């Protein structure tokens, strides 16, 4: 396929997030992570206890995030850090830790507005669960979206309800569908997150998930491979019954991700392929220090070598 004919309008064989952001904003935009002190309904007993079996929030939270600091303080520290690298840029307040719509509307308004009042902040990225949203919260976000960029990101994690139950997620894939249907057509940028290689899932079942999510109304997709990290339920499961896991090698993951991309609808924006946990927290799989950018480059190279691209096998149903 001639690269000029890609529907996303650039030469990469997939619809990448960085290129999308460059068309959306006139200058560089940096996400600043925040821990606003939220929890999750599968941690505090509302739906379950213990949280997701794979989750240790310390594996992805920057040093400046802490719920003992205010939202504004965390943002200012993050801005100070990133402003040393880039002189001209704007910022998105990234409510990242746990489920960031899991509170009453009064609390959410206070926290979100505190973030938007910080100079240089032009919008919000809100990470949450599909069962932690409702019409009232969406009505408020819809109003904010008239003035700010609002990305609402739902953690689906899997399309398989048996998997979701196994990892103590305490919601269903039907909840994901319902949340996206409720949130569409409100001026929000909608995101989805999937975790690849969860126990009990095969490559075939995950590839089928690509076809399922391609029919849903969202814009941006984040993915990463399952990693066993310290201080999680999965750490215990991996030690006791390692045979329940089929962890990706780099080569298998690259090949799988190419197959997955081929089945996604072309207008879906790919924000992330992989994640890299801190070495001192990672138990498995260990990929020999191979960095994220190297994996992404290999995925892109394999697509080109196959004369393939995102959406090549996508069929509208």
Specify burial of residue 148 (Cβ count, 10 A radius: 0-12, 13-18, 19+).
middle
pLDDT for the residue numbered 315: 87
* Mean per-residue pLDDT, 237-245: 96
pLDDT for the residue numbered 304: 95
Contact 1, 62 (CB under 8 A): no
* Mean per-residue pLDDT, 18-37: 92
**What is the C-alpha end-to-end distance of the chain, expressed in Å?**
23
pLDDT for the residue numbered 224: 95
- Whether residue 151 has pLDDT greater than 60: yes
Contact 210, 14 (CB under 8 A): no
* Mean per-residue pLDDT, 250-278: 96
* Mean per-residue pLDDT, 237-261: 97
- Whether residue 229 has pLDDT greater than 80: yes
Residues 6+ apart with CB under 8 A from 122: 25, 29, 90, 91, 92, 148, 149
Q: Higher confidence at residue 144 or residue 62?
A: 144
Give the integer Cα–Cα distance in Å for 129 and 180.
Answer: 11
Specify burial of residue 153 (Cβ count, 10 A radius: 0-12, 13-18, 19+).
buried
Indicate the average pLDDT of the chain.
94
CB burial readout 275-290, b (16+ within 10 A) else e: ebbeeebbeebebeee
| Beta-sheet pairing, 29-34 with 90-95 | parallel
- Whether residue 87 has pLDDT greater than 90: no
What is residue 58's DSSP assignment? G
* Mean per-residue pLDDT, 20-28: 91
Domain boundaries, the chain: 14-305
Band (4; pLDDT cuts 50, 70, 90): low
- Whether residue 316 has pLDDT greater than 90: no
- Whether residue 306 has pLDDT greater than 80: yes
* Mean per-residue pLDDT, 258-282: 95
- Whether residue 1 has pLDDT greater than 60: no
User: Which of 40-44, 111-115, 312-316 shows the lowest mean pLDDT across its residues?
Assistant: 312-316
Q: Tell me: the pLDDT tens digits for 37-85?
A: 999 999 999 999 999 999 997 766 666 677 889 999 999 999 998 888 8
Written out in words, the top-level CATH class of the domain with range 14-305 is alpha beta
Beta strand residue intervals within the chain, DSSP E = 29-34, 90-95, 121-128, 149-157, 189-196, 220-225, 228-229, 269-272, 282-284
């Amino acid at each position: 396929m001639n690269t000029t004919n890609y529907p996303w309008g650039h030469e990469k064989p997939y619809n990448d997030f960085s290129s999308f952001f460059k068309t959306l904003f006139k200058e560089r935009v940096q996400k600043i992570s925040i821990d606003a002190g939220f929890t999750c309904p599968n941690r505090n007993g509302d739906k379950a206890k213990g949280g997701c079996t794979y989750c240790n929030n310390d594996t992805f939270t920057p040093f400046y995030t802490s719920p003992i600091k205010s939202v504004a303080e965390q943002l200012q520290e993050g801005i100070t850090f990133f402003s040393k690298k880039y002189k001209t840029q704007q910022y998105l307040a990234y409510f990242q830790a746990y489920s960031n719509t899991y509170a009453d509307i009064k609390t959410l308004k206070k926290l979100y507005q505190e973030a938007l009042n910080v100079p240089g902040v032009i919008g919000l990225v809100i990470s949450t669960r599909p069962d932690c949203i409702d019409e009232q919260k969406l009505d408020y976000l819809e109003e904010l979206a008239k003035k700010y960029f609002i990305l609402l990101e739902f953690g689906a994690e899997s399309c398989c309800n048996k998997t979701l139950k196994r990892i103590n997620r305490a919601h269903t894939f039907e909840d994901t569908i319902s949340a996206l249907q409720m949130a569409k057509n409100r001026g929000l940028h909608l995101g989805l997150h999937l975790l690849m290689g969860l126990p009990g899932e095969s490559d075939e079942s995950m590839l089928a998930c690509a076809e399922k999510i391609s029919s849903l109304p969202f814009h941006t997709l984040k993915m990463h491979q399952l990693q066993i990290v310290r201080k999680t339920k999965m750490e215990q499961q991996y030690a006791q019954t390692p045979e329940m896991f089929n962890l990706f090698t780099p080569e298998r993951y690259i090949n799988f991700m190419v197959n997955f991309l081929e089945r996604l609808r072309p207008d879906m924006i790919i924000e992330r392929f992989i994640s890299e946990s801190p070495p001192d927290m990672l138990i498995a799989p260990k990929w020999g220090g191979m960095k994220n950018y190297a994996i992404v480059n290999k995925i892109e190279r394999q697509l080109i070598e196959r004369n393939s691209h995102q959406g090549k096998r996508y069929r509208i149903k």
